[in-house]
Amino acid sequence: MSPKVLVANRSEIACRVFQAARELGLGTVAIYAPGDEQGRHVTMAQDARPVKSYLDAEAIVAAAKASGATLIHPGYGFLSERPHFVRAVEKAGLTFVGPRAETMEALGEKIASKELAEKSGVPTLPWGRVPDGGDVEAAAAKVGYPLLLKASAGGGGKGMRRVDKPEELAAAAESARAEAIAAFGDGALFLERLVTEARHVEVQVFGDGAGGGVHLFARECSLQRRHQKVWEEAPGYGLDPATLAGLYEAAMRLVKTVKYRSAGTLEFLVEGGHGKPESFYFLEMNTRLQVEHPVTEWVTGIDLVHSQLRLALDPKFRLGQPSDPRGHAIEVRLYAEDPAQGFMPTPGRVEKVIWPQGPGIRVDSGIEDGQDITTLFDPLLAKIAVWAPDRAMAIERMKFALDETAILGVGTNQRYLRALCDAPAVRAGKVHTKWLETAFNFGAPDLAPATQAAELLASLRAAGLGRAGQSASAANGAAAGFASPWSVVKGAIHG
Whole-angstrom distance, CA of residue 402 vs CA of residue 333? 11
Same domain, 412 and 489: no
183 lies in some domain = yes
- Three-state secondary structure along 239-270? CCHHHHHHHHHHHHHHHHHCCCEEEEEEEEEE
Of 439, 414, 413, the residue nearest 426 (C-alpha)? 439
118 lies in some domain = no
Please report, for the domain that includes residue 164, its CATH number: 3.30.1490.20
Q: What is the mean pLDDT of residues 352-380?
A: 95
Residue 448 confidence (pLDDT) above 70: no
Domain count across the chain: 4
Q: Which of the 8 DSSP states describes residue 341?
A: G
Residue 232 confidence (pLDDT) above 80: yes
Whole-angstrom distance, CA of residue 280 vs CA of residue 266? 12
Examine residue 235 and say whether the peptide bond preceding it is cis (omega within 30 degrees of 0).
yes
Q: Give one word for 152, left, alpha or beta, with left for phi > 0 and alpha for psi -120 to 50.
A: alpha
**pLDDT for the residue numbered 488:** 60
Same domain, 188 and 80: no
Of 227, 236, 261, 268, the residue nearest 117 (C-alpha)? 268
**Adjacency order of strands within the sheet including 147-151:** 127-130, 189-193, 147-151, 161-163
pLDDT digits (tens, 9 = 90+) for 453-475: 555 655 665 655 544 344 433 33
Same domain, 425 and 327: yes
Phi, psi at 479, each rounded to 5°: -65, -25
Beta strands in 336-409 (DSSP E): 337-338, 344-345, 348-349, 352-354, 361-365, 372-373, 380-388, 406-408
Whole-angstrom distance, CA of residue 291 vs CA of residue 451? 35
Residue 244 C-alpha from the chain's centroid: 23
Same domain, 227 and 318: yes
Q: What is the DSSP string of 91-103?
A: HTT-EESS--HHH
Same domain, 276 and 361: yes
**pLDDT for the residue numbered 354:** 92
Same domain, 351 and 404: yes
Same domain, 383 and 465: no
pLDDT digits (tens, 9 = 90+) for 34-53: 999 999 999 999 999 999 99
**pLDDT for the residue numbered 486:** 59
pLDDT digits (tens, 9 = 90+) for 88-104: 999 999 999 999 999 99
Q: Which of the 8 DSSP states describes residue 152?
A: S
SS3 (DSSP) at 191: strand
Least confident interval from 3-12, 291-300, 408-417, 462-471: 462-471
425 lies in some domain = yes
Domain that holds residue 407: 199-438
Whole-angstrom distance, CA of residue 271 vs CA of residue 107? 23
**pLDDT for the residue numbered 457:** 58
Residue 154 confidence (pLDDT) above 70: no
pLDDT digits (tens, 9 = 90+) for 160-186: 899 999 999 999 999 999 988 888 888
Same domain, 174 and 231: no
Report, in angstroms and rounded to the nearest whole number, the Rg of the chain calculated over CA atoms. Answer: 23
What is the value of pTM for the model shown?
0.86
Q: Which of the 8 DSSP states describes residue 275?
A: T
pLDDT digits (tens, 9 = 90+) for 412-443: 999 999 999 999 999 999 999 999 999 998 86
108 lies in some domain = no
Same domain, 68 and 82: yes
Phi, psi at 230, each rounded to 5°: -115, -35
Question: Domain boundary residue among 400, 415, 438?
Answer: 438
**CA distance readout (Å), 302 to 42, 200, 291, 315:** 27, 23, 16, 18
Phi, psi at 439, each rounded to 5°: -125, -15
For 371-409, give one letter per residue: b (16+ CB within 10 A) or e: bbbeeebbbbbbbbbbbbeebeebbebbbbbbebbbbbb
107 lies in some domain = no
pLDDT digits (tens, 9 = 90+) for 182-217: 888 888 898 999 988 899 999 999 999 999 999 999
Q: How confident is the model at residue 449 (pLDDT cuts 50, 70, 90)?
A: very low
Same domain, 245 and 206: yes
Same domain, 374 and 245: yes
Question: Domain boundary residue among 171, 193, 215?
Answer: 193
210 lies in some domain = yes
420 lies in some domain = yes
Same domain, 238 and 352: yes
**pLDDT for the residue numbered 463:** 58
Please report, for the domain that includes residue 340, its CATH number: 3.30.470.20
**pLDDT for the residue numbered 5:** 98
> Are the beta carbons of 76 and 288 closer than 8 angstroms?
yes
Of 252, 257, 262, the residue nearest 203 (C-alpha)? 252
227 lies in some domain = yes
Higher pLDDT: 347 or 466? It is 347
Instruction: Name residue 49's beta-bridge partners.
Output: 31
Q: Which residues contact 41 (CB under 8 A, 6 or more apart)?
A: 7, 9, 10, 11, 12, 14, 15, 18, 30, 32, 366
Please report, for the domain that includes residue 51, its CATH number: 3.40.50.20
Question: Domain boundary residue among 152, 177, 193?
Answer: 193
